[in-house]
Structure 1
Amino acid sequence: MKIKINLLIALLFTFQMVVSQEIPFFESYDWEVSPNYTVDNEIEEDMIAVKEKTVTEFYFQDEDLVEFYLEHKVLWLNSDDAIEEYNKIYLPFSSDAELRVNKARVITPGGKIINLDKSKILTAEDEETGNTYKYFALEGISKGSFIEYMYVVKRPPNYTGKKFYIQDGYYKDKVEFDLYSPSNLLFKFKSYNNIQNVERDTLSTVKLHYKLHAAKVQKLENEYQAPYNASRGFIVYKMDKNVDNMDEDIISYSSIAQNVYASYYPEYSEKTKGLLNDFIKELALPKNADQESIIRKLDFYIKSTVYSQDVYNEDLQDLDLILTTQLANESGVIKLYIAVLRTLNIAHELVITTDRTEMKFDPEFEATNFLTDFLLYFPTSKRYLSPNASGTRYGFPMPYVTDNYGLFLKEGVVGDQKSVTGRIKYIEPVKVDEVLDVMKVTIDFNKENLTENTVHLDRTFSGYYAMNIQPFMHLIQGEDARNDLVDSFVESMTYEFEAQNRELINDDAELFGVKPLQIKVDFTTEAFVEKAGRKYLFKLGDLIGQQIELYQEKERVLPLEGQFHRGYKRTLTLHIPEGYKITNLDDINIDNSYVKDGKEIFFFKSSYQLEGNTLTVTANEYYKENIIEVAMYEDYRTVINSAADFNKIVLLLTAE
């Protein structure tokens, strides 16, 4: 879940009315009465943006600063799929916004103009959220038509940090972004992923004008596990200075830190302190519990007992009410964690960052759109906690907010004075040795029927591999439900089996992060062996389950990002039946890796040892880096595909 910082920003200036203002830009702008749009006939695309113009203007109206947001698009649709996708155009309508202009039209391949009737501007309601939205319902579209629409929204100004995409999954002939502001309010911009810089129009004098006009913007297609939104070309902008107070940055992390601190680290009343002490008693902490045990208990208890809603409601962030009702919103949950940690004198820091697949945190450009996700950091253990992600636990935060920069807020106390310091640091990911899937398998053959095996599976999961199961074991009640869980791991090998002697170890929900979840099961199956005349085919690779295989028909364009570091350790022990031998043992040997700065970053290595009739196969696979740059991709693909290659290994048993 993400948290947008909106109301935590205290303005460091007072807006001043500009004596001489031009009319808003949108009042003098319109589309062409008789358009003559064309596209290159040689381009074979489902859709092309002939024009995309966006204008956002900050404007004083009755001494209030408002924002007029204009969007004007002309899209050429050249397939049934594109027509189906764009026959409805949704408008950014909200309760605090006002639609000032809204119109659309279709221009057929023959040049006929079909203007949208006002009755086709519809309003609907989202049944889940209750939010209303408006959309254009376009008719008369055929392949090769142009659709054109334009709207203007008046809304509260958004100037603390805004992301605007220049690049999409389709070609664009022309992209124009313009921002206007009163002459005393300066804006700052930064371009990402090879997008040209925004320039200031020096000819504009009455009001400031910033612009980025680009021609022929190439489309960017998504790829497997690519951080697509973070990789697209975009700009970020914010209001930077008031010319009447040039010494102060309007948006700075130092000011944000102060306001976040004021909200989340207040002085508590005696009533609140009493409620906090009662809450801590409910934790039933053992005497002399170490800090990590306390944090784990707190994390488990809050996520198990406090119901969190993703809505803005003052009551749901009132600490007294939260402690009484155990109902909260995301801000309220964070306040609860912090209040308990402060009461217990547990050192921690509040961290604000962003999902790296959506947008990498930029340590050099201070804007609130880099501040969307909260973490708690514990410097003693150097571990993190995601307070608003109910499916996570201490030490294993939401993985996509790690391996990224963040703003760390640390409370300091000097005498009776309390304050906060903010600094940007890197959020290290959880190391591979804590995220392991360890498999030990022993296989015996039925002497009377060599197509049947008795298999003993011993498998342990730690870190993120256990996180979807172990913390919720208290919810899996009854022998049948627990047997089904154990059987699900056998089913990753085969659906044809009969299980006996199932066992779950470390199945206490509060043992997550302390001891790995372990399953043991014995089963019989005829799924791994096929008879071929006097020979037998043993499907060794099926023991590790089906593996991902990466195909690459085109050259990789985007980096690939994994969620977390991960490792697989597999030991497969096969008791070869008397009188038989395996003739293709060398097929087991696979060794592929990628070395960076003298260290193996990822690898797949399988090998064997044969002692008498006992064949021991090891197949280990490690990934010690999440972000796979394009230059590394082919090596990474080779390693990934090595596991798929192992999965295809079939051993040939022949009579001696």
Structure 2
Amino acid sequence: MKNKIYLLIAFLCVFQIVNAQEKPFFESYDWEVNPNYKVDKEISEDMIAVKEKTVTEFYFQEDYLVEFFLEHKVLWLNSDDAIEEFNKIYLPFSSEAEMQVNKARVITADGKIINLDKSKILTAEDEETGNTYTYFALEGITKGSFIEYMYVVKRPPSYTGNKFYIQDDYYKDQVEFDLYSPSNLLFKFKSYNNLPDVERDTLSTDKIHYKLHVSKVEKLENEYQAPYNASRGFILYKMDKNVDNMDVDIISYSNIAETVYASYYPEYSEKTKGLLNDFIKELELPKDADQESIIRKLDFYIKSTVYSQDSYNPDLQDLDLILQTQIANESGVIKLYVAVLRTLNIEHELVITTDRNEMKFDPEFEATNFLTDFLLYFPTSKKYLSPNASGTRYGFPLPYLTDNYGFFLKEGVVGNLKSVTGRITYIEPVKVDEVLDVMKVTIDFNKDNLTENTVHLDRAFGGYYAMNIQPFMHLIQGEDARNDLVDSFVESMTYDFEVEKRELINADAELFGIKPLQIKVDFTTEGFVEKAGRKYLFKLGDLIGQQIEMYQEKERVLPLEGQFHRGYNRTLTLHIPEGYKITNLEDINIDNSYVKDGKELFFFKSSYQLKGNTLTVTANEYYKENSIEVDMYEEYRTVINSAADFNKIVLLLEAE
């Protein structure tokens, strides 16, 4: 669950009830009694949306603002997979919603209409969440059939920021989005990814009508590592103004800042202060600890001892109860971090942002869609912390929350007066020199059996490369478990090996972000050499492990979104057996890179030096850009495939 922003707004001050209203739109809307839907018979698509109409109307009913949400779809199904996917239509029905209209029908290829029997409107319960779902169970669907369904729900209004997708992974012939509101409530819209703008219908007088009608929408298929949802055509909308009070922005980040501040930065009672001091004693902080050491200790301690539940239970947000029970929900965990940092007088800022893989933060459109995930920022070190991600640690927040904009909230104190200021600022990603995989390998040949090697592997993992292991080393107990961990890195090179010596360095969970996790292992293997007549084939590329290969049969359409900047430094030292030489050393040389505006964004470079019988190979690979736009994709793919090409290098050893 993401930690959504829930606003406490005094709506009675914002909205003025409109007495004279037309009836809701849905009451005069219906599907065609005798439909005549058609598609091009030459089309080979599995499915096409012949029509998708969505209407959301904000309406005053019995002195309350409600929302009527209508969805009407006509889908042409032309494959067994499509039929399987859509023979059940799930409706967005919740305990707070009231169904006003729900009906569906199947129109076969020969025009026969099969109306859905009410007995086929069913409910089911999700065993994990306990949520109840309402769905249509459609029957009689064959290839070439149309399914048509329409429903209307009345629900509490949602207007602080809504996202509506226009584009999907199938073709659409006619897409219509309409929003109606009382004449005194204005909405604001923004279209993304080349969609036309939403327009206001100037002919509508008794109510305000906004619309976006698109006759053809191209399908958008997902691609490898693409930010698919962020790339689809969609619109955002929010309630903006009440015409009777045009000076007030109904949804603004300044208002949100005050609401969030009141929730996370309250005045603490004497009881709470005492509990906080007791909690801080449990951290066992050294008297001379610097700020970064304190933050690291706090982060490790909370994530190791406080149990976080995915629940809205108010008790799990009560700071006193959290300090006593060490059980909290996501909001409660943030309150705990903030309270301890304030008590210790550690300067910090609360940051709210969104996952750029789903939707990049737009600094020019204020809506709660962009306020889904929390970070803590420390200006002294310029580092971040993800309070609600137990698998992360200070300095290495969830990577998809970085390289993005965010809303920064800072507490200010002047005398006895406390306040909050907010600003939108870019969240810098972790630099590549902090996310390194450093490998040093030395290889010797058995003089009596050249198919056998003695290998010394020294490998160090820093930053995100260590994050799934090093912070949890206290949980990996016992010599056997730790030996298995070391051996797993040898297995990435070869399965045929016998370990002679192992060493695990910096295996303290609290060293994450300070020192890299390092393994040293000596082993013998016959997995790297094959004899071919009088020649020997040494699989040099296997030393770096199998690499990703990116093939692209079709032209790339979507950008690629990487998690974090990263680098690989590899030094491979091979002691060539006496009386032998390597005849294809030039195969080692690979040099592929991409430079933009004078900056080398990503590269793979491998080369060698030969001194006597010692061959030293370096193979370095760096990625200093997360967002790979389509115009640089081929260069990126070339660099990625360069590592895969190196992995295939086999050196030929021949007698001199």
TM bracket (short chain): over 0.9
Secondary structure, counterpart of 1:523 in structure 2? strand
User: 1:196 is matched by which residue type in structure 2?
Assistant: P
Deviation at 1:14, TM superposition (A): 3.3
Deviation at 1:9, TM superposition (A): 4.6
Residue in 2 that maps onto 1:606: 606
Could you report, residue by residue, the CA deviation over 1:7-38 in whole angstroms, capped at 9, with x for unpaired residues? 44554833222121111111111111110000
Counterparts of 2:286 and 2:74, CA distance in 1: 66
Residue in 2 that maps onto 1:202: 202
Taking the TM superposition and a 5 Å limit, the aligned residue runs for 1:641-652 are: 641-652=641-652
Counterparts of 1:146 and 1:279, CA distance in 2: 63
Question: Once structures 1 and 2 are overlaid, which stretch shifts more, 17-26 or 398-407?
Answer: 17-26
Q: CA RMSD in A?
A: 0.8
Deviation at 1:42, TM superposition (A): 2.0
Residue in 2 that maps onto 1:622: 622
Could you report, residue by residue, the CA deviation over 1:50-90 in whole angstroms, capped at 9, with x for unpaired residues? 00000000011110101010000000001111111111111
Secondary structure, counterpart of 1:443 in structure 2? strand
Residue in 2 that maps onto 1:56: 56
Deviation at 1:350, TM superposition (A): 0.3
Secondary structure, counterpart of 2:216 in structure 1? strand
Residue in 2 that maps onto 1:362: 362
Secondary structure, counterpart of 2:256 in structure 1? helix
Query: Do structure 1's residue 219 and structure 2's residue 216 form an aligned pair?
Result: no
Counterparts of 1:116 and 1:616, CA distance in 2: 73
Query: Do structure 1's residue 430 and structure 2's residue 435 form an aligned pair?
Result: no
Residue in 2 that maps onto 1:407: 407
Counterparts of 1:142 and 1:240, CA distance in 2: 46
Q: Is the 8 A contact 1:8 1:260 kept in 2?
A: no
User: 1:358 is matched by which residue type in structure 2?
Assistant: E
Taking the TM superposition and a 5 Å limit, the aligned residue runs for 1:334-349 are: 334-349=334-349
Q: Is the 8 A contact 2:14 2:250 kept in 1?
A: no
Counterparts of 1:650 and 1:516, CA distance in 2: 31
Taking the TM superposition and a 5 Å limit, the aligned residue runs for 1:266-415 are: 266-415=266-415
Q: Is the 8 A contact 1:13 1:242 kept in 2?
A: no
Residue in 2 that maps onto 1:565: 565
Residue in 2 that maps onto 1:419: 419
Taking the TM superposition and a 5 Å limit, the aligned residue runs for 1:241-252 are: 241-252=241-252
User: 1:357 is matched by which residue type in structure 2?
Assistant: N
Identical-residue share of aligned pairs (%): 88
Counterparts of 1:440 and 1:106, CA distance in 2: 65
User: 1:64 is matched by which residue type in structure 2?
Assistant: Y
Taking the TM superposition and a 5 Å limit, the aligned residue runs for 1:455-474 are: 455-474=455-474
Counterparts of 1:480 and 1:444, CA distance in 2: 27
Residue in 1 that maps onto 2:193: 193
Residue in 1 that maps onto 2:115: 115
Residue in 1 that maps onto 2:475: 475
Taking the TM superposition and a 5 Å limit, the aligned residue runs for 1:438-449 are: 438-449=438-449
Q: Is the 8 A contact 1:12 1:250 kept in 2?
A: no
Counterparts of 1:280 and 1:499, CA distance in 2: 44
Query: Do structure 1's residue 148 and structure 2's residue 142 form an aligned pair?
Result: no
User: 1:151 is matched by which residue type in structure 2?
Assistant: Y
Secondary structure, counterpart of 1:586 in structure 2? helix
Structure 2: gaps (5+ residues): none
Query: Do structure 1's residue 66 and structure 2's residue 66 form an aligned pair?
Result: yes
Could you report, residue by residue, the CA deviation over 1:481-529 in whole angstroms, capped at 9, with x for unpaired residues? 1011001101111111111211110000000000000001111111110
User: 1:514 is matched by which residue type in structure 2?
Assistant: I
Secondary structure, counterpart of 2:54 in structure 1? strand
Q: Is the 8 A contact 1:435 1:566 kept in 2?
A: yes
Secondary structure, counterpart of 1:484 in structure 2? helix
Q: Is the 8 A contact 1:58 1:68 kept in 2?
A: yes
Taking the TM superposition and a 5 Å limit, the aligned residue runs for 1:418-567 are: 418-567=418-567
User: 2:554 is matched by which residue type in structure 1?
Assistant: K
Could you report, residue by residue, the CA deviation over 1:530-556 in whole angstroms, capped at 9, with x for unpaired residues? 100000000000000000011011111
Counterparts of 1:434 and 1:577, CA distance in 2: 37
Question: Once structures 1 and 2 are overlaid, which stretch shifts more, 17-26 or 155-164?
Answer: 17-26
Residue in 2 that maps onto 1:5: 5
Secondary structure, counterpart of 1:13 in structure 2? helix
Query: Do structure 1's residue 81 and structure 2's residue 87 form an aligned pair?
Result: no
Counterparts of 2:342 and 2:260, CA distance in 1: 16
Q: Is the 8 A contact 2:7 2:256 kept in 1?
A: no
User: 2:127 is matched by which residue type in structure 1?
Assistant: E
Taking the TM superposition and a 5 Å limit, the aligned residue runs for 1:97-176 are: 97-176=97-176
Q: Is the 8 A contact 1:577 1:613 kept in 2?
A: yes
User: 2:601 is matched by which residue type in structure 1?
Assistant: I
Q: Is the 8 A contact 1:350 1:376 kept in 2?
A: yes
Instruction: Give the TM-score normalised by structure 1.
Output: 0.99
Secondary structure, counterpart of 1:90 in structure 2? strand
User: 2:303 is matched by which residue type in structure 1?
Assistant: K
Counterparts of 1:27 and 1:324, CA distance in 2: 54
Secondary structure, counterpart of 2:43 in structure 1? coil
User: 1:158 is matched by which residue type in structure 2?
Assistant: S
Counterparts of 1:136 and 1:465, CA distance in 2: 46
Deviation at 1:109, TM superposition (A): 0.5
User: 1:101 is matched by which residue type in structure 2?
Assistant: V
Deviation at 1:2, TM superposition (A): 1.6
Counterparts of 2:632 and 2:223, CA distance in 1: 15
Structure 1: gaps (5+ residues): none
Counterparts of 1:14 and 1:578, CA distance in 2: 87
Counterparts of 2:498 and 2:35, CA distance in 1: 71
Deviation at 1:172, TM superposition (A): 0.2
Counterparts of 1:353 and 1:8, CA distance in 2: 19
Question: Once structures 1 and 2 are overlaid, which stretch shifts more, 227-236 or 3-12?
Answer: 3-12
Deviation at 1:312, TM superposition (A): 0.6
Residue in 2 that maps onto 1:580: 580
From the superposition, tell whether residues 202 and 479 of structure 1 become closer, same or farther in structure 2 (CA, over 3 Å). Answer: same
Secondary structure, counterpart of 1:103 in structure 2? strand
Q: Is the 8 A contact 1:549 1:641 kept in 2?
A: yes
Counterparts of 2:139 and 2:499, CA distance in 1: 60
Q: Is the 8 A contact 1:462 1:513 kept in 2?
A: yes
Counterparts of 2:542 and 2:245, CA distance in 1: 69
Secondary structure, counterpart of 1:467 in structure 2? coil
Counterparts of 1:486 and 1:160, CA distance in 2: 50
Aligned residues: 656
Counterparts of 2:463 and 2:9, CA distance in 1: 37
Q: Is the 8 A contact 2:7 2:259 kept in 1?
A: no
Q: Is the 8 A contact 1:51 1:75 kept in 2?
A: yes
Secondary structure, counterpart of 2:109 in structure 1? coil
Counterparts of 2:560 and 2:101, CA distance in 1: 41
Q: Is the 8 A contact 2:409 2:423 kept in 1?
A: yes
